[in-house]
Amino acid sequence: MPDTAPLRIATRSSQQASTQAGAVASALTAATGRPVELVFVDTVGDRTQADNVPLHSIGGQGVFVKEVQNAVLDGRADLAVHSAKDLTSDTTPGLRLAAFTERRDAHDVLVGATLDELPLGALVATGSVRRRAQLAAVRPDLEFAELRGNIGTRLSKVPDGGAIVMAKAALLILELTEHIAEELSLSEFVPAVGQGCVAIECRVDDDDTRRALATIDHAPTRRAVEIERAFLSELGSGCSLPVAGHVRGSGLDIFVADPERSTSVRHRVELRSHPDGHESVDADLAAARQGARDAMASLAGQVASGDGA
Ligand X SMILES: NCc1[nH]cc(CCC(=O)O)c1CC(=O)O
Active-site residues: which are they?
86
In whole angstroms, the minimum distance from the beta carbon of 268 to ligand X comes to 21
* Pick 83 or 264: Cβ nearer ligand X: 83
41 in Cβ contact with 79 (< 8 Å): no
Chain Cα centroid distance, residue 49: 18
* Pick 232 or 287: Cβ nearer ligand X: 232
* Pick 85 or 229: Cβ nearer ligand X: 85
Q: Which residues bind ligand X (CB under 6 A)?
A: 83, 85-86, 166-167, 169-170, 195-196
Cα distance from N-terminal residue to C-terminal residue, the chain: 54
In whole angstroms, the minimum distance from the beta carbon of 170 to ligand X comes to 4
Q: What are phi and psi of 53, to 5 degrees?
A: -115, 90
Give me the DSSP letters along 21-46: HHHHHHHHHHHH---EEEEE---HHH
* Pick 166 or 232: Cβ nearer ligand X: 166
190 in Cβ contact with 254 (< 8 Å): yes
267 in Cβ contact with 297 (< 8 Å): no
Half-sphere exposure of 118 (CA within 13 A, CB side): 28
Please state whether beta strands 79-83 and 7-11 pair in parallel, antiparallel, or not at all (unpaired).
Answer: parallel
The Cα–Cα gap between 185 and 189 comes to 6
* Pick 64 or 206: Cβ nearer ligand X: 64
In whole angstroms, the minimum distance from the beta carbon of 19 to ligand X comes to 11
